[in-house]
Amino acid sequence: MKRHPLYGLMAEFESTDNLISAAHRTYAEGYRQIDAFTPFPVEGLAEAIGFHKTRVPLICLIGGLIGCSGGFFLQWWPNVIGYPLNVGGKPYNSWPAFIPITFELTILCAGLATVFGMLALNGLPTPYHPVFNAPRFELATRNKFFLCIKARDAKFDAQKTREFLQSLNAREVSDIEV
């Protein structure tokens, strides 16, 4: 290879409307390995690039269930099995008194699972990523909108894909080196 291997092509857009319609057309054209970059969450953009479902709620639920059952067990075991103390004939498993800690641990585990699950699914922390090589990409955290078609897409062709992106009302289309 004479030139650097290509990660993909990056197109820059001025507004969310341009970006969303471009994303829709890119998806309709048959590209699947696409991603968009915006300075704030844009409604409908994830769906436009064909990303519908996220497993974050499921992870949250699992975390919550672990916290809930673990929290209750944490109190039930010492009081009933580990070190039972008979205080005035009151039941060992006095579950209403165990509810506050069970609740707190449910929230704690669900919250930790949500945050670390979200970070893990997003692959963060990412020490290096090729999209940062795109020119003007620092504006993706300020006021510009970007659409990327990755080179590993089955339909990707350096020349044709570039022409296609240019036809989408993009301000600029540039190569991204790996």
Partner 1 sequence: MGSDGLDNTPALNPSTPVLAPGHNYASITDKISSIVLLQRTRRGWWLGFAIAFSLLMVLQLAIGYLLMVGVGIWGINIPIGWGFAIVNFVWWIGIGHAGTLISAFLLLMRQAWRQSINRFAEAMTLFAVASAGLFPLLHMGRPWLFFWLTPYPDTMGTWPQFRSPLVWDVFAVSTYGTISLLFWFVGLIPDLATLRDRAKDRVSRIIYGFLAMGWRGSAMHWHRYEMAYLLLAGLATPLVVSVHTVVSFDFTLAVVPGWHSTIFPPYFVAGAIYSGFAMVVTLAIPLRKFYGLEDFLTLRHLDNMAKILLATGCIVAYGYMMETFMAFYGGPSYDHYMMMNRMTGRYAPVYWTLILCNIAIPLGTLWFAKIRRNVGALFVISLIIQTGMWLERFVIVVTSLHRDFLPSSWGMYYPTRWDWATYLGTIGLFFTLFLLFIRFLPMISIFEMRGLAHELKEKEG
Contact residues toward partner 1 (CB under 8 A) are 16, 23, 35-42, 45-46, 48-49, 51, 54, 56-57, 60, 74-75, 78-79, 82-83, 94, 97-98, 100-101, 103-105, 107-108, 110-112, 114-115, 117-119, 121-122, 124-129, 131-132, 137-143
Shortest CA distance to 177 belongs to which of 148, 145, 134? 134
Under 8 Å between Cβ of 109 and 70: yes
Compute the least distance from the CB of residue 156 to partner 1, in Å: 18
Under 8 Å between Cβ of 22 and 168: yes
Under 8 Å between Cβ of 49 and 75: no
Compute the least distance from the CB of residue 66 to partner 1, in Å: 14
Under 8 Å between Cβ of 85 and 70: no
Compute the least distance from the CB of residue 59 to partner 1, in Å: 9
Cβ nearer to partner 1, comparing 84 with 160 = 84
Cβ nearer to partner 1, comparing 63 with 164 = 63
Assigned token pair, 34:
């696409």
